[in-house]
Amino acid sequence: MLELRGKVAVITGGASGIGLGLARAFAGAGMRLVLADIEAAAAEKAAAGLRERGAEARAVRTDVTDPASVEALARGVFEREGAVALLCNNAGVCVEAPVAGGSDDDWNWLFAVNVHGARNVIRAFVPRLRAQGAPAHIVNTGSFNSLIPAGFLGIYTASKFALLGLSESLRQELAPDGIGVSTLLPLGVNTRLDESQRNRPAGQALNPQAMKSSESALRAGQDPSAVGEAVLRGVRENARFIFPDGSMVGVLRAQLGAILSAMESALKG
């Protein structure tokens, strides 16, 4: 079991939503927190709220789509803290855009944040995690859509399938180094994911659909703090997958059953 008390956790997208839920759970475990987020004011407000509750927390403005910004985050954290025990690749965005109907801007933005953003963080932090000589764990925030597609969220689904592949491969790569990797696979969570376009790069066309069909489901979703507690348990167990909500197990069983059935048909020739 990874010892967490007094150790450092770095959370991208840490200013709100699942990221803040993670921060609250980790603070309860006695960790010191670095909240990295593109929204500097929101990150500082979140860090201040955690400090009021007795946690040690600070905010660092970080754009995960910018390798230089991520490298500055990693360099600063290791210079100040010396080591990182827990790294959460949590920054993510979404719009309702199907595969065939999404714009180039939709494709580029969702993959820039959800996939390449995670890659940038991994590139900056993993060499340092390997060199620090202390145990560490990485959590990559996927989605139930990493496993089950949603047609009206086609591009988002594609990005989260890609992130699952990245995370699974990374777990194999880092196992010899004693660095654990988990993929977080939440269902609906009460976050501001439907307001992702507030951070869309200047010059990109806004998607008029935004998240019209998803807003009510998000508001009725799981509390981010419950997700944080599930992640805390998963990290301690070095869980390969972390499901905060098991209510859709039947849907997943049907998906996996269809895959196995197709393979069995291939065996029969």
Residues linked to residue 8 through DSSP beta bridges, in sequence order: 32
Alpha-carbon gap, residue 238 to 257, rounded angstroms:
26
Each residue of 52-83: b (16+ CB within 10 Å) or e?
eeebebbbbbbbbbebebbeebbeebbeeeeb
Closest CA relative to residue 234, chosen from 170, 119, 141, 116: 141
Name residues whose C-beta falls within 8 Å of residue 131's C-beta, 6 or more positions apart in sequence.
Answer: none
Catalytically annotated residue among 156, 157, 242, 244: 156
Task: Find the helix or strand (DSSP H, E) in which 110 lies.
Answer: helix 104-114
Name residues whose C-beta falls within 8 Å of residue 130's C-beta, 6 or more positions apart in sequence.
Answer: 177, 179
Closest CA relative to residue 16, chosen from 84, 92, 107, 104: 92
Distance of CA 223 to the CA centre of its chain: 16
Give the angle 103-95-220 at the CA atoms, nearest 5°.
165
Residues linked to residue 137 through DSSP beta bridges, in sequence order: 86, 180
Q: 156 catalytic, yes or no?
A: yes
Alpha-carbon gap, residue 64 to 118, rounded angstroms:
7
User: What residues are annotated to the active site?
Assistant: 156
